[in-house]
Amino acid sequence: MKPPRKLHIKSYGCQMNVYDAQRMVDTLAPEGFIETDSAEDADLVILNTCHIREKASEKVYSELGRLRVAKDEAARNGRAMRIAVAGCVAQAEGEEIIRRAPTVDVVVGPQSYHHLPQLLARAKSEGRALETEFPVEDKFGFLPQPKPAAIRARGISAFVTVQEGCDKFCTFCVVPYTRGAEVSRPVAKIVDDVKRLADNGVREITLIGQNVNAYHGEGPDGRTWPLGKLLHRLAEIEGIARLRYSTSHPRDVEETLIAAHRDLGALMPFVHLPVQSGSDRILAAMNRKHTADDYRRVIDRFRTARQDVAFSSDFIVGFPGETEGEFAATLALVMQIGYAAAYSFKYSPRPGTPAADMWETVSAAEMDERLVRLQELIDTQQSAFNRAMIGETVDVLFERAARNPGQIVGRTAYLQPAHVFASPDIIGQVLPVTIESLERYSLLGELAGGVAQPAPTLPQLTGA
């Protein structure tokens, strides 16, 4: 048995990184590593980086500066702290990180997390910093296909990777370069993962992938299955009350996915469908390969299938050359669709992407101003959406005890946190809650009927 050691992982960015952090915890657990909330106390600190936006690498270097101080302090107290950099910045910068930040012991890219224990051991025995051998791109510029691993059960809600990488090449985005070509896991492997998670008490599964609805995994019948068909299969697994998926591309919304929203009570009516801009000229410059009207039509197809479906999106303001009129088209689209939530970002050039070579610019002041206007509009929509819950009775999946003593917190279909005073026995159950008030983004309510009921049985679901 290895002596216990403390591990602190600081994750940035997307859900894939949250999932990857869990993968690293699982890989390092047999080495005696136990998670801690404090970087200062840790024997191993992993920065799980994201390369997608805004000066990502500079942020990593300044964080590494802070960690160097903690590492020196630990050394003065006779304790060795080791530092690893993981994630997409590690993938993009490789040994440059070790050169610029000698405090780093190991640099490891997303394809190599299963090698972490060996890398750490080698770095220690060789007394030098090490990076994984980063996979070499093929003649198309694609990285070798990653082998996603299964996830261990923790809590009520779990992520399962079904697809990694992206072939879309939006001109602003690094994902196709850092995460490589799109690859889907076979249906049987995903079904096994979900069954195991359900056996461990998980009741909600979020299928994740950079372009999740481009899923095209091998089915048990030897055919290629689309995401909608996979969702139909997963909904049959006993114990799974809720299914979600993220992140989708408007061009890959095919009919089985729409049918899944129509047919599956377990599939939550909340879809993250980034549009990025409401202007056709900007969408073309972004290489999104869809127009604002195409996007509107996709939204209509979801709404026709299930009238209570709500949407969230990502937006970029200040893409090279975006005029005030083009930005106004984004505002108009937001007004028309009406979002339950959305994320908006100022454009930032990512080295190596086509947009980084575009010469037109939008001034920093204009970008700031547009971001504020867009966020105000989104906030208004989000607050209205949340306020509309007051007085309604909605299903909540209870996940854990809340910070307030006596309260249990769960989530609605739309991922809004909902608190009730109840016994912890309700954790893991989906129960109707009458919503009484809204505090910032959190709903407060009462169990409808006042008592916990047994977990509802799932309706019998048809296959695709």
**CB closer to ligand SF4, 123 vs 275:** 275
Query: What minimum distance in Å lies between the beta carbon of 153 and ligand SF4?
Result: 28
**CB closer to ligand 5AD, 119 vs 273:** 273
Q: What is the Cα–Cα distance from 35 to 432, expressed in whole angstroms?
A: 35
CB atoms within 10 A of CB 301: 13
- 273 interacts with ligand SF4 by CB under 6 A: no
Consult the annotation and say whether 50 binds a ligand: yes
Binders of ligand SF4 among residues 199 to 228 (CB under 6 A) are 210-211
Query: What minimum distance in Å lies between the beta carbon of 204 and ligand 5AD?
Result: 22
Q: Is the dihedral of CA 123, 62, 24, 53 positive or negative?
A: negative
345 binds, among ligand 5AD, ligand SF4, none (CB under 5 to 8 A by kind): ligand 5AD
Decide: helix, strand or coil at residue 457: coil
- Cβ 251 vs Cβ 289: under 8 Å: yes
Binders of ligand 5AD among residues 155 to 194 (CB under 6 A) are 172-173
Contact segment (CB under 6 A) with ligand SF4 among 22-30, 169-177, 184-192, 258-266 equals: 169-177
Nearest CA-CA partner of 217 in 206, 230, 198: 230
- 316 interacts with ligand 5AD by CB under 6 A: yes
- 209 interacts with ligand 5AD by CB under 6 A: no
**CB closer to ligand 5AD, 254 vs 314:** 314
Q: What is the Cα–Cα distance from 184 to 224, expressed in whole angstroms?
A: 10
Torsion of CA 238, 242, 246, 252, to 10 degrees: 70
**CB closer to ligand SF4, 8 vs 249:** 249
User: In the stretch 329-358, what mask flags binding to ligand 5AD with x, by CB under 6 A?
Assistant: ----------------x-xx-x--------
CB atoms within 10 A of CB 105: 22
Q: What is the Cα–Cα distance from 267 to 204, expressed in whole angstroms?
A: 10
DSSP 425: G
DSSP 355: G
Consult the annotation and say whether 88 binds a ligand: yes
- In which element (H, E) is residue 376 found? helix 364-387
Query: What minimum distance in Å lies between the beta carbon of 257 and ligand SF4?
Result: 16
68-85 b/e with 16+ CB inside 10 Å = b?
bebbeebeeeeeebbbbb
Query: What minimum distance in Å lies between the beta carbon of 178 and ligand 5AD?
Result: 11
- 274 interacts with ligand 5AD by CB under 6 A: yes
**Which tokens hold the place of 443?**
């709903």
Q: How far is CA 269 from CA 243, 251, 310, 341, in A?
A: 10, 19, 6, 13
- 142 interacts with ligand SF4 by CB under 6 A: no
**CB closer to ligand 5AD, 18 vs 150:** 18
Consult the annotation and say whether 248 binds a ligand: no
Among 218, 236, 252, 314, binds ligand 5AD (CB under 6 A): 314
- 327 interacts with ligand 5AD by CB under 6 A: no
Residue 291 CB contacts under 8 Å (≥ 6 apart), including other chains = 280, 283
**CB closer to ligand SF4, 273 vs 310:** 273
Query: What size, in residues, is the chain?
Result: 464
- 169 interacts with ligand SF4 by CB under 6 A: yes
DSSP 307: T
Q: How far is CA 92 from CA 176, 287, 395, 414, in A?
A: 12, 22, 43, 35
Consult the annotation and say whether 456 binds a ligand: no
DSSP 326: H
Residue count at the site for ligand 5AD (CB under 6 A)?
Answer: 12
Query: What minimum distance in Å lies between the beta carbon of 11 and ligand 5AD?
Result: 15
Among 157, 276, 312, 386, binds ligand 5AD (CB under 6 A): 276
Consult the annotation and say whether 410 binds a ligand: no
Query: What minimum distance in Å lies between the beta carbon of 230 and ligand 5AD?
Result: 23
Q: What is the Cα–Cα distance from 320 to 172, expressed in whole angstroms?
A: 10
Q: What is the Cα–Cα distance from 281 to 243, expressed in whole angstroms?
A: 35
Among 143, 173, 285, 329, binds ligand SF4 (CB under 6 A): 173
Consult the annotation and say whether 436 binds a ligand: no
Query: What minimum distance in Å lies between the beta carbon of 428 and ligand SF4?
Result: 33
What are the residues binding ligand SF4 (CB under 6 A)? 166, 168-170, 173, 175-176, 210-211, 249
The residues binding ligand 5AD (CB under 6 A) are 52-53, 172-173, 274, 276, 314, 316, 345, 347-348, 350
